[in-house]
Amino acid sequence: MSLDSPRSNSETSLRPQQRKYADAAEMVAALKPGYPVYCVRPKTVKSAARHFLDKFPGRVLYAVKCNPNPMVLRALYDEGIRHFDTASLGEIALVREMYRDAECYYMHPVKGRSAIKAADEVYAVEHFVVDSKDELYKVLDEAGSEGITIIVRIATPPAGAIYDLSLKFGARPAEAVELLQLIKAEGCQAGLAFHVGSQCTVPRAYRTALKMVGDIIEASGVDIHYLDIGGGFPAGYLGVEVPPLEEFIAEIEEGLKDLKLRRDCVLMCEPGRALVSDGMSVVTQVHLRKGDNLYINDGVYGSLSETVAARLRYPARLIRLGGEVSEDMLDFTVFGPTCDSQDVLPAPVRLPADVREGDWIEFGRLGAYSNALATHFNGFHSDAYVQVEDDPMPLD
């Protein structure tokens, strides 16, 4: 089935051939889609990747979980990203089967034994993260110690991020000291990692975490070979003040000055959201209007889940084929396509007052944790992707 088919997204997932358009409006004019369509902007993704590669004083890993679409991975790879933060065997397979020279790091602190074994034997993964003794011994059992680097993830204090990732993972300082010593005793290269939380808008959080790293290194007496400062670098959304990357880099570099690292220690980071957020939008269609309520074909069980989970607000614009659009604007309550009454965006969306059934709404800045989190609930799902060439939707 081609992308031009009018069949709805309640049917089998669409797998269209890749198409290129100047912008979302040109795509709508050509396809008139009744299903959500992801508009990928490779130029924008490449620009963000280049910015990180130029500014960060170490190795840049892309967090695949953020957006695993092959078009996105291709843009990152083409711009020079060769290292990938992977959290599952599926992500490792995706990256390594696309690019044999790409290096995957198994960054999930809890892994199945069969996945560890396959990562080691099939995909030659050499870097594994742990945050407990049981996980350390699991990795050693399945992957051995020869040629393996084991990185200890530590918990860090809350730092103004929308998700506190240390609530689930991370060794406490005393545990981290013991783990580093055990890793060294097993003959493996050792490392430390932390994650200050997703969408962290406080640059000082990285220096605070690096102070913890220094204390752990000193207490353990282990010279680490790898230091992974994680992700957390923020992206811009409506109503969100985001410091520039340079402010984060400055705090990181100040924090590194106080550490006694071996000269060959590899510094790494794992950006996800900051690399791809601006690089994709989703085009939805209005299926019904009831007063100031709009019913569209995507929602919180699909691409728009972070409107609830993280209270993010995305820029939106109306696309109409033929006819004028009102200059007056109104706030609308927007419902998703499922039968669940909770499938509603928590904040109103401002659109032209005459929006009507059959119009399309493009939601911008949706490259992070949108398609990656979309479910198949109620039979609604789309994997229709096109490439567009325009700039990201403005936030003002």
pLDDT digits (tens, 9 = 90+) for 315-344: 999 999 988 999 999 999 999 999 999 999
For residues 368 and 20, the answer to whether their CB atoms sit within 8 Å is: no
Enclosing H/E stretch for 116: helix 113-121
Mean pLDDT (the chain) is: 94
Give the per-residue pLDDT at 294: 98
Are the CB atoms for 45 and 273 separated by under 8 Å? no
pLDDT confidence of residue 160:
84
The predicted model scores a pTM of 0.94
- The pLDDT value recorded for residue 351 is 98
Lowest mean pLDDT among 1-10, 157-166, 190-199, 291-300: 1-10
pLDDT at 335: 98
Assigned CATH class of 20-41+278-388: mainly beta
What is the chain's alpha carbon radius of gyration, rounded to the nearest angstrom?
22
DSSP string, 49-98: HHHHHHHSSSEEEEEGGG---HHHHHHHHHHT--EEEE-SHHHHHHHHHH
Contact status, residue 170 vs residue 153, Cβ threshold 8 Å: yes
Domain positions in the chain are 20-41+278-388, 43-276
pLDDT-derived band at 159 (thresholds 50, 70, 90) equals confident
CATH class of segment(s) 43-276: alpha beta
Q: Check residue 5 and give its pLDDT.
A: 36
* Contact present, 290 and 363 (Cβ < 8 Å): no
Q: Would you say 31 and 4 are in contact if contact means Cβ atoms under 8 Å apart?
A: yes
Binned at pLDDT 50, 70 and 90, residue 18 comes out as: low
Contacts of 59 (CB under 8 A, 6+ apart): 83, 266, 267, 268, 269
Confidence at 16, pLDDT banded by 50, 70, 90: very low
Q: Is pLDDT at 354 greater than 70 in this prediction? A: yes
pLDDT tens for each residue of 239-248: 998 999 999 9
Instruction: Look at residue 60 and tell me whether its pLDDT is greater than 60.
Output: yes
